[in-house]
Structure 1
Amino acid sequence: MLLAARSAVALHRLLDAVLVFAGDERVTRLFTLVPGSDFGVDALAAVERIGGRTVPWSEALRGSYDLVLSASPKGDVRLIRGTHVLLPHGAGYSKSLPGEGSDSASGLDPVFLRRTDLALHAVAHPDQAARLVAWDDAAPAKVVGDPTLERLLASRPLRDRYRAALGTGSRTLVVLASTWGPESLLHRHPGLAQELAARLPYDAYQLALVLHPNEHSRLGSYELAQRLAPACDAGLIIADPYEEWASLLIAADALITDHGSAALYYTAAADRPAVGVHEDDGAELIPDSPMHTLLRGIPRLRDAGALIHALRAWRPGPGAQAARQAFDRQGQALDLLRSELYALLGLTPPPTPARPRPLPAPRPAVRTPAAFDVDTDVTAADEIRVTRRPAGLGPPGDHLAAEYDAASEPYIRSAGLLYRRPLPQAPWAADAWIRHALDAYPGCRTAAAILPDGLTLLGTRDRPALHAVRAHPRNEAGRIIHPDPAAVASAVHTGRQPSHLRCRIGDRTYDVTVRPATPTESATPF
């Protein structure tokens, strides 16, 4: 069997589909790169990462194969001798690319699909099959569903694991989904992630970016990270274009999307909040397509400052409706595709059924902020509200809080609150480090040592005795929610040190106990 891909996105689709042959020693999987795409370089790199055996294009043309799988009808793939099967390239077929074939949906363009070599065109929805038959009543179109969606559906029980891997905690994970090209979120709103990081409270929101594989190929990981450096420094997660993007959609609480099909996978997995940024002047979105259904039914995000309002305006329904327009046979795709492919091979499938492989856990952010502009105020309920935002992205706060051993020296020297988290080899006693921090940095008024068990020892310049600060977790329907001790230290830094106080961080209020530290606690290594 030859898997023929022109780009990384096509290869990723094929990798999800060939799970139907898992465990069958009768099938040998070979890969080749079909020339002609501007985005082909990452396809070969992806094959190398998984350890696949590649066949040079010239050799592929000389051979003959029992099965040739592709996920794009473009290029010279038809020159390969064998039984050809075309698999879904994307979700919903909602985008038309000017100057590419005709004005039909990309992936369903008759200019590329009127082929005599196709034994099967597997599609995800009856509407797609009907469109193919309307162009050519002999088209070998069959509805098998979407193998990539099967992996998302199978991975829904792993949502908590994914969020734990990302370090999300109780925050709202907002994913920005960008397709590729001049009408994409990344091209039209390149500063949106940075603007959101500057505006959204860090303890209430986490940001991630799901970017089309073509943009990863066009820019490369280094250039992409440099262009998004301020947002990455503030904790933005950039998903890997294979598998990880889908794990992030499972983990997400909300989505900001253009007209790219990633949003349809998100809404098919769960009908959670989504807002759109696609502009009405775009020429790529196809009217009455699944993405058009979604975008006209969800709130529009006009600027970064309006995100919370837009999310509150979201109502369930349009997402599920759009997903039904894009995907059929949900939960059956691997079984249906398996039957079709084994029939073409003339083989009896193994007795073990094909099962979608759960998605791997995503990686956390490469960088997280170690310095914060912090605003504090006392609410009407006599709570101390703490709002932290990554330092340097917006106006300064009431005070600057910086993490010792993590923030850069300019932030350390300017911080009114210095805090330190435990290190594996515990080089300091807590009270010794607090004295060191207050002596070494004259601008520091408060130094806080966060111990391994979450207890925080806090010393101030005008109070020689240390205080022990403990924030009590919240129990929300059985889920235990802990605040970041560094955020609680900012509340105590305000100078209010009664034996008990209430600290509001994000949408949650925590009871906090403040008492004199014991000698044993003060000498704790950390």
Structure 2
Amino acid sequence: MDGDRWVTVRAERQVLAVVRNLASAGRLADVLPVFGSDPRIQTLFTTVSGSAFDDGLGEYLRKIRARVVPWRQAVGTEFDLTVAASPNGELNELRAPLLLMSHGAGHNRLLRTPNGYSSQVAGLARSQLVRDGRVLPAAIALSHREQLERLARYCPEAVPFAVVTGDPSFDRMVAHLPRRERYRRALGVPPGGTLVVVSSTWGEHSLFGAASGLLARLVSELPMDEYRVAVLTHPNIRAWHGGLQVDLWLSAARAAGLTVIPPEQGWQAALIAADVVIGDHGSVTLYGVALDRPTMLASSGGEGEELDPESPIAELVGRLPRLDLDRRLLEQIRGVIATYVPGAYADVTGRTLGQVGDSGEAFRRVVYRLIDLPVPPGPVVPSPLPEPYGERLTPSAFLARVRFTPGGVDIKRYPAAARLDDAGPDPYLVVDIEELDRRLVESAAIIVGRGQRPGWAEDTLRRYPGCAATALADDHQVLMTIRDGPELLLSATPDLDPAILPCVVHAWLAMGHRLDDLFALTISVGFAKYRINATPPRSI
């Protein structure tokens, strides 16, 4: 390349990673660390045009600090190897051997046509692999021998160029399984709690396309101190509809506690952390099954038209249980976890993910053969996965269902939008004074404030006649002012949300009990237990 005079490290080989959209870019970023710290290799990126889903690609490459060369410069430069995770685009214009790999878990989808789908399989189709009468890739990396057998049917002339390497991306997840608890803490899963990971591929048959109201239902129907819900969306969804639009569609669910994992950061860690997966016919769902997570489907049921009927994922979607949207979700989630048999689908995932534990080494051997360099000593050590980043908003209004038992109090909380139609005590609406939906504030039994001025409690009780009590909270204690009653300074174990304390007192007094008898009770919130303390108010 031009500009050799600016070089600091004079590498022996130049490798060009060709990306078309965020999905292919993420896959290449996943596998290129097989070069490790080899100073003989310089890796550069270029983008090939033509994808309907290239929005955000440049921003992603800047974020990972990739050196990017323009396509025009790339086609005019000789490289030692090009690596691509999509066969689409004018790859034949590049002047280097091409290593082609899948950007997902194997090859499962049929090629789209203007009128639907063809009988050719994306990534294995002759129309993608053969240009001007010759097989374009110098090597085709497959994740399992099963794909080699299908390749022999769809494009037999490409078989001599195929090599089974396994799936380095899945191996990377397996290597990080010991970090599961770390990822659960990062996602705010309470001790003993359940993390529900919802995964959606793109397209009208996907979970996001077919069951758009599911996310809001999940965060509304699952007790918020026992469950966390995180969603993983295929990058094509945001690339086509726009990140702003997707955020708007998710805004109600996010306000109720949904964690949205960015497509480019943390989806692998979220899968590792999951207790149960709700997905569709996308690769991430298959990875979740391969990680032995109990899994249900919430796709349209018509996804079969998109899939190669002989692919493992087509078999998988025919065997996995489906979420019934006409039934309560909590009982179905509990049921699939309780009845799950480990390894139940290993026969299917094992036909997609081969050479588990050795795929990084196998992929590295192919790469170094193509660039004609000795493989460096030592094993391929997986690079650290991105931490599962996803901002979770604490609901500013919630329903508290308080149930008294002999010697204890059980509290379950739900976002204010929840419809609690099952049998149980009437819930109390607790609302932060900063809640933007003022109808909720006007309907609240308890109004919570933080950092308010002196006299706030009295003014609030006067302004909202339906409010039974106010709670002025800091991190560890609450000054509760009861309408026509006493003020109490309440505290409990420091990690208990102070907004819970006035719920207990309010429910206890509403039942006609003496306040002094309350403090002998144990409070159960989720899987944790606390004791409540009360003292005369001093300051807060």
TM-score, scaled relative to structure 2: 0.85
Task: Report the CA distance between 1:433 and its aligned residue.
Answer: 6.4
- Give the equivalent residue in structure 2 for 1:315: 340
Query: Contact 1:401 / 1:417 at 8 angstroms: preserved in 2?
Result: yes
- Give the equivalent residue in structure 2 for 1:273: 294
Q: 1:195 aligned to 2:222?
A: no
State which drifts further: 33-42 or 342-351: 342-351
Correspondence for 2:429 among 400, 414, 431: 400
Correspondence for 2:521 among 487, 501, 519: 501
Counterpart residue type for residue 104 of structure 1? Q
Counterpart residue type for residue 323 of structure 1? T
Task: Report the CA distance between 1:18 and its aligned residue.
Answer: 0.7
Deviation per CA, 1:75-128, whole angstroms, max 9, x where unpaired?
211221101100222103233244288423322223212352321111111111
Q: 1:125 aligned to 2:154?
A: no
State the aligned residue count: 502
Query: Contact 1:370 / 1:403 at 8 angstroms: preserved in 2?
Result: yes
Task: Report the CA distance between 1:512 and its aligned residue.
Answer: 3.1
Q: 1:112 aligned to 2:141?
A: no
Deviation per CA, 1:269-300, whole angstroms, max 9, x where unpaired?
3x122111234433123335332343333321
Distance 1:459 1:512, change over 3 A: farther
* Separation in structure 1 between the aligned mates of residue 530 and residue 400 of structure 2, nearest angstrom: 20
* Separation in structure 1 between the aligned mates of residue 312 and residue 101 of structure 2, nearest angstrom: 19
Counterpart residue type for residue 119 of structure 2? D
- Give the equivalent residue in structure 2 for 1:59: 73
Deviation per CA, 1:389-428, whole angstroms, max 9, x where unpaired?
222354796321023456665544432212346x7xxx77
Query: Contact 1:92 / 1:264 at 8 angstroms: preserved in 2?
Result: no
- Give the equivalent residue in structure 2 for 1:492: 505
Q: 1:239 aligned to 2:239?
A: no
Correspondence for 1:16 among 13, 21, 30: 30
Task: Report the CA distance between 1:383 and its aligned residue.
Answer: 4.9
Q: 1:88 aligned to 2:88?
A: no
Correspondence for 1:289 among 289, 298, 311: 311
State which drifts further: 91-100 or 231-240: 91-100
- What is the percentage of aligned positions where both structures have the same residue? 32
Task: Report the CA distance between 1:133 and its aligned residue.
Answer: 3.5
Distance 1:278 1:331, change over 3 A: same
Q: Superposed, which structure 2 residues align to 1:375-454 within 5 Å?
A: 375-378=401-404, 383-392=408-417, 394=419, 398-405=427-434, 409-420=438-449, 438=461, 441-452=464-475, 454=476
* Separation in structure 2 between the aligned mates of residue 434 and residue 364 of structure 1, nearest angstrom: 35
Query: Contact 1:373 / 1:399 at 8 angstroms: preserved in 2?
Result: yes
- Give the equivalent residue in structure 2 for 1:477: none
SS at match of 2:417: coil
Query: Contact 2:487 / 2:536 at 8 angstroms: preserved in 1?
Result: no
Task: Report the CA distance between 1:179 and its aligned residue.
Answer: 0.8
* Separation in structure 2 between the aligned mates of residue 10 and residue 509 of structure 1, nearest angstrom: 43
Query: Contact 2:228 / 2:258 at 8 angstroms: preserved in 1?
Result: yes
- Give the equivalent residue in structure 1 for 2:9: none
Task: Report the CA distance between 1:469 and its aligned residue.
Answer: 4.2
- Give the equivalent residue in structure 2 for 1:479: none
Query: Contact 1:178 / 1:258 at 8 angstroms: preserved in 2?
Result: yes
Counterpart residue type for residue 82 of structure 1? A
- Give the equivalent residue in structure 1 for 2:19: 5
Task: Report the CA distance between 1:130 and its aligned residue.
Answer: 2.6
SS at match of 1:388: strand
* Separation in structure 2 between the aligned mates of residue 97 and residue 390 of structure 1, nearest angstrom: 42
- Give the equivalent residue in structure 2 for 1:75: 89
Query: Contact 2:229 / 2:258 at 8 angstroms: preserved in 1?
Result: yes
* Separation in structure 1 between the aligned mates of residue 171 and residue 59 of structure 2, nearest angstrom: 25
Task: Report the CA distance between 1:451 and its aligned residue.
Answer: 4.5
Q: 1:262 aligned to 2:280?
A: no
State which drifts further: 180-189 or 20-29: 20-29
Q: Superposed, which structure 2 residues align to 1:152-167 within 5 Å?
A: 152-167=173-188
* Separation in structure 1 between the aligned mates of residue 347 and residue 273 of structure 2, nearest angstrom: 21
Q: 1:343 aligned to 2:369?
A: yes
Distance 1:470 1:327, change over 3 A: same
- Give the equivalent residue in structure 1 for 2:3: none
Q: 1:354 aligned to 2:380?
A: yes
* Ranges in structure 1 where 5+ consecutive residues have no aligned partner: 473-481
* Separation in structure 2 between the aligned mates of residue 101 and residue 444 of structure 1, nearest angstrom: 59
SS at match of 2:160: coil
Query: Contact 1:300 / 1:310 at 8 angstroms: preserved in 2?
Result: no
Counterpart residue type for residue 130 of structure 1? E
Distance 1:409 1:309, change over 3 A: closer
TM-score, scaled relative to structure 1: 0.87
Counterpart residue type for residue 169 of structure 1? P
Counterpart residue type for residue 331 of structure 2? H
Deviation per CA, 1:55-92, whole angstroms, max 9, x where unpaired?
22222222221000001112211221101100222103
Query: Contact 1:175 / 1:255 at 8 angstroms: preserved in 2?
Result: yes
State which drifts further: 21-30 or 208-217: 21-30
Task: Report the CA distance between 1:214 and its aligned residue.
Answer: 1.0
State which drifts further: 58-67 or 277-286: 277-286
* Separation in structure 2 between the aligned mates of residue 337 and residue 49 of structure 1, nearest angstrom: 25
* Separation in structure 1 between the aligned mates of residue 387 and residue 118 of structure 2, nearest angstrom: 40
Deviation per CA, 1:4-53, whole angstroms, max 9, x where unpaired?
11111011111111101121222221111111111123222211222222
- Give the equivalent residue in structure 2 for 1:476: none
State which drifts further: 4-13 or 454-463: 454-463
Distance 1:485 1:290, change over 3 A: farther
Deviation per CA, 1:143-178, whole angstroms, max 9, x where unpaired?
111121122112222222222222221432211111
* Separation in structure 2 between the aligned mates of residue 280 and residue 466 of structure 1, nearest angstrom: 55
Q: Superposed, which structure 2 residues align to 1:442-521 within 5 Å?
A: 442-452=465-475, 454-470=476-492, 484-496=497-509, 497=515, 498-506=518-526, 508=527, 510-514=529-533, 516-517=534-535
* Separation in structure 2 between the aligned mates of residue 495 and residue 136 of structure 1, nearest angstrom: 75
* Separation in structure 2 between the aligned mates of residue 128 and residue 471 of structure 1, nearest angstrom: 56
Distance 1:19 1:376, change over 3 A: same
